[in-house]
């Protein structure tokens, strides 16, 4: 495989990730809601479900649904797309603002590591609770509360995971006035990052943020694909 073919494959992978990532996030956040009316309830602040209610429900369910139906698993398996998308944004943004693009991609990749910690934790805990004997419900509730406490390791990991979206926001700014990237695309992607950071864990607002990211990333993906074909033109 020659260098041109390798470069084309990398660029196409990055372009695909820029579209695939927000689409996957749209599906992930949509799966958190049982109805449209539930989705339309706006909350300005994240309030977690009572631990006793959540744990009891998961134990009673006994994992009677396929693992792939867990939205956290979708997000967890999709994290490589976040890294590919970050480098795709960098490949375009570095031509206009190289320093800003470099800072952004570094923060995004670093935050992705901690996103893996958060999503991996919930994927394991939620699936694991379905295997617990109902006799041990009280102990499971206590363990869940301790593991997901904001003041503990989870709270630290959750905060550091926000670096991924902060990095994407910085990378969006690096696209400002980049060749062949419309201004509205930069604004849309930056707005999407703001919605994520401002309403972290509020799933309907993060759904809207994903829509903004999708709208903003599509022109970037098109530009990357155009550059992939340029050496052969």
Question: Which residue range is the domain that position 82 belongs to?
Answer: 3-232
- Scan for tokens 């509020």, then name that residue: 202
Burial 79-115 (b: 16+ CB within 10 A, else e): bebbbbbbbbbbbbbbeebeebbbbbbebbbbbbebb
Q: What is the total count of domains within the chain?
A: 1
The one-digit pLDDT tens for each residue of the chain (233 residues) are 577 788 889 999 999 999 999 999 999 999 888 888 888 888 878 777 888 888 998 898 888 877 777 888 899 999 999 999 999 999 999 988 999 999 999 999 999 999 999 999 988 888 888 889 899 999 999 999 988 888 888 889 999 999 999 999 999 999 988 888 999 999 999 999 999 999 998 999 999 999 999 999 999 999 999 988 775 54
**Among candidates 160, 77, 153, which has minimal Cα distance to 120?**
77
**Among candidates 188, 193, 233, 191, which has minimal Cα distance to 215?**
188
Q: Show Cβ contacts of residue 44 under 8 Å, excluding neighbours closer than 6 positions.
A: 199, 202
Q: Show Cβ contacts of residue 65 under 8 Å, excluding neighbours closer than 6 positions.
A: none
What's the pLDDT score for residue 1? Answer: 54
Residue 97 region, left (φ>0) first, then alpha (ψ -120 to 50), else beta? Answer: beta
Helix axes 79-93 and 98-129, enclosed angle (nearest 10): 170
Q: Is 97 helix (H, G, I), strand (E, B) or coil?
A: coil
Q: Is 151 helix (H, G, I), strand (E, B) or coil?
A: coil
What's the pLDDT score for residue 233? Answer: 43
Please, are residues 73 and 124 in contact by the beta-carbon 8 Å criterion?
A: no
**Among candidates 215, 189, 99, 201, which has minimal Cα distance to 158?**
201
Q: What distance in Å separates the CA atoms of residue 6 and residue 170, rounded to the nearest whole number? A: 28
Query: Distances in Å between the alpha carbon of 222 and those of 12, 111, 181, 208, 212?
Result: 10, 26, 9, 22, 16
Tokens encoding 166: 């902060």
**How many CB atoms neighbour CB 153 within 10 A?**
11
What's the pLDDT score for residue 40? Answer: 81
């Amino acid at each position: 495989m020659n260098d041109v073919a390798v470069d084309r494959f990398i660029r196409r992978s990055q372009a695909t990730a820029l579209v695939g990532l927000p689409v996957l996030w749209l599906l992930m956040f949509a799966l958190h809601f049982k109805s449209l009316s539930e989705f339309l309830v706006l909350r300005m602040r994240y309030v977690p479900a009572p631990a006793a209610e959540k744990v009891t429900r998961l134990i009673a369910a006994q994992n009677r649904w396929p693992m792939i139906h867990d939205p956290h698993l979708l997000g967890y398996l999709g994290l490589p797309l976040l890294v590919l998308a970050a480098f795709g944004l960098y490949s375009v943004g570095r031509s206009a603002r190289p320093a800003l693009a470099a800072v952004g991609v570094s923060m995004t990749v670093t935050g992705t590591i901690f996103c893996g910690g958060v999503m991996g934790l919930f994927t394991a805990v939620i699936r694991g609770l379905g295997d617990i004997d109902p006799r041990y419900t009280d102990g499971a509730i206590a363990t869940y509360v301790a593991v997901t406490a904001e003041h503990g390791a989870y709270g630290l990991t959750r905060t550091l995971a926000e670096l991924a979206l902060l990095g994407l926001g910085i990378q969006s700014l690096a696209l400002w006035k980049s060749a062949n990237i419309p201004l509205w695309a930069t604004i849309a992607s930056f707005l999407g990052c703001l919605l994520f950071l401002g309403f972290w864990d509020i799933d309907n607002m993060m759904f809207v943020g994903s829509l903004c990211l999708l709208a903003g990333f599509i022109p970037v993906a098109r530009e990357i694909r155009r550059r992939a074909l340029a050496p052969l033109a």
